[in-house]
Amino acid sequence: MKNTERFLWGTGIAAVCVAATAATSYMVTKDLVRIAVDRECPHKITPKARNRFTGGAVNARFLQSLSDAAAKLRATPHETVEITARDGQHLVGHWFPHPEAKRVILTMHGWRSGWASDFGLIHDFFVENECSILYAEQRGQGRSGGDHMGLGLLERYDCLEWLRWLGADMPIFLAGISMGATTVLMATGFDLPKNVRGVIADCGFTSAYDISRHILRQNLHLSFRSRTRAANAMFRKRLRMEIQEYSTVDALAEATVPVLFIHGTDDSFVPVSMTYENYKSCRTSKELLIVPGAEHGMSYYQDKARYQAAVRQFWQAHG
């Protein structure tokens, strides 16, 4: 009898421990999904927390350069544009027309970032090369509407609405960085307007599923497999689609517009292997620029000369 009581007591404790562990895992997964896609973060993302997600501290001089360039760009006179997405969300963009434009650049910024922060450094280069630029604010961020980001799954459709607003009067190039690069790469799976001449994708990830797995395993050192079912249910509730529903690899297999892929070798947030995978999957005309030593989003900052030369060559070849 005593042995039986000990057994039942022991299994009871084990059951409680298992339940507690499962509950803790679920709550951690819920917080991670909220950080990944919710406009309102469950916690303030401190520099230390951001470093854990990205896999390392960001260069302080680089951050200061971004901040200075962003402030300058925001203060530059321009037109604020507002449109409605296919699902009714309010989208905001910033239009910088060039009086002697040869082409238009439609840009998409990255995750928990902003149009001025991600493109402030390269803005003068665009202007000097006679580009009109539309800097879109991604849904779920900034002044655009939506409670959730889509990690490219939703934003690819927003590209189509911005292209309709731009019209067909001039050659258009899509450009994106990080999640913005994933957005424009996923958009290549659509039947794009004929005046879209190419895509410039800087450090994009292959899918929402792949980047989630990488961050959990490599940067946060957490189990991914045990959280997959719960995380997918949470994504589906927010985005009304599966986390594995679409990828850049799927899109690029159907792409008809040329693509310039750019990535830094030292990127610990979005590994350079994802750009190699995207490049391999691309079935249309493609170019590849790999910048040695560049961390996430730092390729232009790290090697401006090679970056500018690659983009100019891409424009000359296709636009």
Q: 148, 39 in Cβ contact below 8 A? A: yes
User: 147-193, pLDDT tens digit by residue?
Assistant: 999 999 999 999 999 999 999 899 999 999 999 999 999 999 999 99
| Beta carbons of 66 and 117 less than 8 angstroms apart | yes
Contact (CB, 8 A) for 109 and 91:
no
Strand order in the sheet with 131-136: 79-84, 90-96, 131-136, 103-108, 172-177, 196-202, 259-264, 286-291
Q: What pLDDT score was predicted for residue 223? A: 85
Confidence of residue 2 (pLDDT cuts 50, 70, 90): very low
Q: Mean pLDDT over residues 211-230, rounded?
A: 89
Please, what is the average pLDDT of the chain? 91
* Phi and psi, residue 255, nearest 5°: -65, 145
Domains of the chain: 59-207+246-318 (3.40.50.1820)
Distance (Å, rounded) from C-alpha 137 to C-alpha 156?
13
Q: Which long-range contacts (CB under 8 A, 24 or more apart) does 73-81 make?
A: 73/116, 73/119, 73/120, 73/123, 74/116, 76/123, 81/134, 81/165
Give the chain's end-to-end CA distance (angstroms, integer). 85
Higher pLDDT, 30 or 140: 140
Predicted confidence at residue 312, as pLDDT, reads 98
pLDDT at site 299: 98
- What's 169's DSSP letter? S
DSSP state of 267: -
Any idea which of 144-158, 230-244, 285-299 has the lowest mean pLDDT?
230-244
- The tens digit of pLDDT for each residue in 263-293 reads 999 999 999 999 999 999 999 999 999 999 9
